[in-house]
């Protein structure tokens, strides 16, 4: 049996357990109590949970801090990239030193770094991410154009990969060491170890090339209205190969984490209670074991959704999908600094938002976190 070598954060290490448990309540279950108004309380009854608003504000604060760090990093990291964008442009068409200097001042590259940084900050808060060197368009407009296709691709892939992974994972755990478990786990691990671009190219060659069942690239056949019926069918056809590629490569991690966490729950006493109550095995699994096993899984799933969006770069490049990934890929070859900065900030923001969403979902799933 192969086990994944990745270490998955459990509930304690996940966003839910972000607060140290060493508070007074954690140290001694018996913080004393003055009798609550009207309601008799046991001496060692744990204190009631905190408000949702406080929890939300704390998590929002954390997300905001991460965002600020990303913005700062986004600026400085790209200044350290090798290659001078102006010289690169100058290489492509003959330019006089005066023209080069003018280009520099046009991009604001002749100003001191600190001034550039200030302009960048002001830009971010006013929604102006600068102008792309290559496309000669505002970066924010480019990102808006390319964000939709990326969200379509990754959201479809994420929903399928998570659904498939969790479903297979819980079945594998429940029938641990059965033939089903062995086949499901090892198949998923084979796909997990396949490079994304390689799988994409193979699928492209077979289904797009040899068999010619599906289109080989892009999102829609030029000339079709995306909102017409024929257009929607066409987009779906274009989606199939990239989605299969993305799902195949990532669903193993969802399967593995679900399997591991359900196996851990399977020896818990409350399952014996449920069985003793006369529940069928399916009811024990669905009503008791899986809801508990989902807790650590949710953390991992949300963390990986963020990663999935960033991971779209390869797939979009292979299938010429007009998304943020492709845009980033082209920006790197520039180097198109404003565009890179923009996509970097957007990708990071998506990941931060996903982690925030994980924290909030977790609080609803696990009543114990409501105390934090």
Q: Which spans of this chain sit near another protein (rule: CB under 8 A)?
A: 24-25, 27-34, 36, 39-40, 42-50, 268-270, 272-280, 287-288, 291-292, 295, 365-368, 371
Cβ proximity to another protein, 6 vs 277, nearer residue: 277
> For 115, phi and psi rounded to 5 degrees?
-70, -40
Q: How far is the CB of 275 from another protein (least distance, A)?
A: 6
Ramachandran region of residue 134, left (φ > 0), alpha (ψ -120 to 50) or beta?
alpha
Helix/strand/coil (H, E, C) string of the chain? CCCCCCCCCCCCCCHHHCCCCCCHHHHCCCCCCCCCCCCCCCCCCCCCCCCHHHHHHHHHHHHHHHHHHHHHHHHHHHHCCCCCHHHHHHHHCCCCHHHHHHHHHHHCCCCCHHHHHHHHHHHHHCCCCCECCCCCCEHHHHHHHHHHHHHHHHHHHHHHHHHHHHHHHHHHHHCCCCHHHHHHHHHHHHHHHCCHHHHHHHHHHHHHHHCCCCCCCCCCCCCCCCCCHHHHHHHHHHHHHHHHHHHHHHHHHHHHHHHHHHHHHCCCHHHHHHHHCCCCHHHHHHHHHHHHHHHHHHHHHHHHHHHHHHHHHHHHHHCCCCCHHHHHHHHHHCCCHHHHHHHHHHHHHHHHHHHHHHHHHHHHHCHHHHHC
Cβ proximity to another protein, 24 vs 127, nearer residue: 24
Cβ proximity to another protein, 326 vs 363, nearer residue: 363
Cβ proximity to another protein, 106 vs 178, nearer residue: 178
Q: How far is the CB of 274 from another protein (least distance, A)?
A: 7
Cβ proximity to another protein, 114 vs 276, nearer residue: 276
Cβ proximity to another protein, 294 vs 303, nearer residue: 294
Q: How far is the CB of 180 from another protein (least distance, A)?
A: 17
Cα separation, 12 vs 28, in Å, equals 18
Q: How far is the CB of 174 from another protein (least distance, A)?
A: 14
Cβ proximity to another protein, 131 vs 265, nearer residue: 265
Cβ proximity to another protein, 45 vs 119, nearer residue: 45
Q: How far is the CB of 192 from another protein (least distance, A)?
A: 28
Q: How far is the CB of 48 from another protein (least distance, A)?
A: 6
Q: How far is the CB of 372 from another protein (least distance, A)?
A: 11
Q: How far is the CB of 25 from another protein (least distance, A)?
A: 7
């Amino acid at each position: 049996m192969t086990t994944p070598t990745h270490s998955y954060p459990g509930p304690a290490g996940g966003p839910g357990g972000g607060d140290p448990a060493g508070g007074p309540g954690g140290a001694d279950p018996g913080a004393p109590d003055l009798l609550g108004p009207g309601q008799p309380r046991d001496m060692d009854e744990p204190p009631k949970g905190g408000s949702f608003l406080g929890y939300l504000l704390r998590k929002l604060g954390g997300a905001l801090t991460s965002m600020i760090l990303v913005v700062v990093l986004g600026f400085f990291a790209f200044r350290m990239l090798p290659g001078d964008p102006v010289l690169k442009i100058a290489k492509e068409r003959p330019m006089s030193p005066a023209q080069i200097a003018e280009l520099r001042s046009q991009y604001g590259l002749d100003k001191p770094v600190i001034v550039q940084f200030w302009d960048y900050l002001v830009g971010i808060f006013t929604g102006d991410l600068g102008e792309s060197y290559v496309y000669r368009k505002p970066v924010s407009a480019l990102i808006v154009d390319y964000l939709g296709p990326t969200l379509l691709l990754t959201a479809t892939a994420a929903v399928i990969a998570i659904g498939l992974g969790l479903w297979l994972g819980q079945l594998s755990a429940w029938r641990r060491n059965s033939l089903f478990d062995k086949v499901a786990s090892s198949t998923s691990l084979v796909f997990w170890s396949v490079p994304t671009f390689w799988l994409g190219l193979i699928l492209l060659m077979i289904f797009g090339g040899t068999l010619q069942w599906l289109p080989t690239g892009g999102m829609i056949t030029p000339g079709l209205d995306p909102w017409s019926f024929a257009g929607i069918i066409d987009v779906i056809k274009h989606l199939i190969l990239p989605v299969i590629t993305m799902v195949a490569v990532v669903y193993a991690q969802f399967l593995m984490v679900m399997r591991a966490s359900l196996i851990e729950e399977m020896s818990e006493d409350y399952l014996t209670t449920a069985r003793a109550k006369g529940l069928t095995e399916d009811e024990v699994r669905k009503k008791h074991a899986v809801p508990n096993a989902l807790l650590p899984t949710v953390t991992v799933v949300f963390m990986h959704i963020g990663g999935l969006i960033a991971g779209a770069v390869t797939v979009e490049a292979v299938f010429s999908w007009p998304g943020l990934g492709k845009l980033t890929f082209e920006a790197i070859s520039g180097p198109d600094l404003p565009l890179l900065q923009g996509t970097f900030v957007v990708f990071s923001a998506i990941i931060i938002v996903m982690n925030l969403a994980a924290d909030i979902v977790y609080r609803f799933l696990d009543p114990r976190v409501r105390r934090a």
